[in-house]
Amino acid sequence: MVADYDKMIAGYTAKYPKEAAEIKRRFAHELPADWEKVLPSYKPGDKAVATRSLSGVALNALAAIMPELIGGSADLTPSNKTALKCSGDYQHNTPEGRYLRFGVREHGMGAIGNGLHAYGGIVPFTATFLTFIEYMFPAVRLAALSGHKHIFIMTHDSLGIGEDGPTHQPIEQVNMVRATPNVLMFRPADGNETSGAYKVAMEQKDTPSVLALSRQNLPQLAGTSIDGVSKGAYVIVEEKNPDAVLIATGSEVSTCVEAAKLMDGKFTIVSMPCAKLFDEQPIEYRRKVLPFKTPVIAVEMAAASGWYKYAHHALVMKTFGVSGKGSDCMEYFGFTPKGVAASVKKWLDTTGKAVKEHGFALAAQFDEPTKRDLHYVDYI
């Protein structure tokens, strides 16, 4: 049987050398030459855009040169921004189509994506709202256990979803994903970080990625970069001897940048698009990003779990959300520049004084770099 297969491949290669090279590349889990050059970059002053839309731009740029990118959405294509311009739907009469209409069946979608990667030569992407990742989480967990390079595109990542209310506003989901071994959880702050998330996700061989993306428009920030995402966390606004470090993810990064302008004193701003990648960095780098004897305050519209490894104080969600416009929801819980500035000042004037005086350390300043243990991938 093997001999017959090898003979077939040899014959195909002789007759269709270009197509055969493509198949061999894909089954060897190799990427096209210079593929990363198609990822868009952005500069301050460019139009404010939701990261779900920026994700659609990056996904389409990659899909145009990578026929192995195949996937779809659980009945939320217009919201997830995952439609492929280079391909139509996979249907009975269009088997060449690369876009799958999964319907409202998140778990089945995730399982099918894993199966596509297991077959070989395919990089699957599947999409829904971040809250609904819970419906498909067994498939996410199995992707991590089995070493599937599967890109989970999760939009509407926070209170910014607005009117759909608490049932749709994710609170605990971000930390649930972060706590799962061998899954990279990205929450990009703008266009550069969205492209950076795709770059890292595509570079993986045995690790799935979850991209948590905003519904609301976000500004293109100074200091962000595509390559910075690979570090997990990095400084985007640096001050010498700052009064505090504000560390945030996603939409809250730009909120912190604006909040710092409303306060007296100096504040370094750190964006942390992927905590797991930051944990993998050398101690020296983590100490540079989170310096000793400097209060660190985390800001994220999600549950607090995990933040006290990186911060002395966390401005986070402690309840479910509320119904209302996205901007009103964020104002209600204090996730506006004015609200964050007031909370930071209050903490620095009280508990923060003791932190600065005694120089309390953080686990992230001492923990050895983590390594992804993929022993289970080898025997599954």
Q: Which residues are catalytic?
A: 106
Cβ atoms within 10 Å of 133's Cβ, excluding its own: 23
CA dist., res. 31 & res. 272, Å (int): 26
CB 52 within 8 A of CB 214: yes
Tokens matching residue 185: 């959880």
Bridge pairing between strands 267-271 and 234-237: antiparallel
Please state at what angle helix 337-348 crosses helix 351-358, rounded to 10 degrees: 60
- The radius of gyration of the chain from alpha carbons, rounded to an integer in Å, stands at 22
CA torsion 6→203→173→270, rounded to 10°? 180
CA dist., res. 144 & res. 376, Å (int): 10
CB 342 within 8 A of CB 269: no
Largest Cα span, the chain: 76
Tokens matching residue 123: 């990089």
CB 297 within 8 A of CB 247: yes
Buried b (16+ CB within 10 A) or exposed e, 293-330: ebbbbbbbbbbbebbeebbbbbbbbeeebeeeebeebb
CA dist., res. 376 & res. 145, Å (int): 7
CA 322 to chain centre: 24
Q: Give me the sheet containing 313-315, strands edge to edge.
A: 234-237, 267-271, 244-248, 296-299, 313-315
Q: Name residue 166's amino acid.
A: P
What are residue 124's DSSP bridge partners? Answer: 70
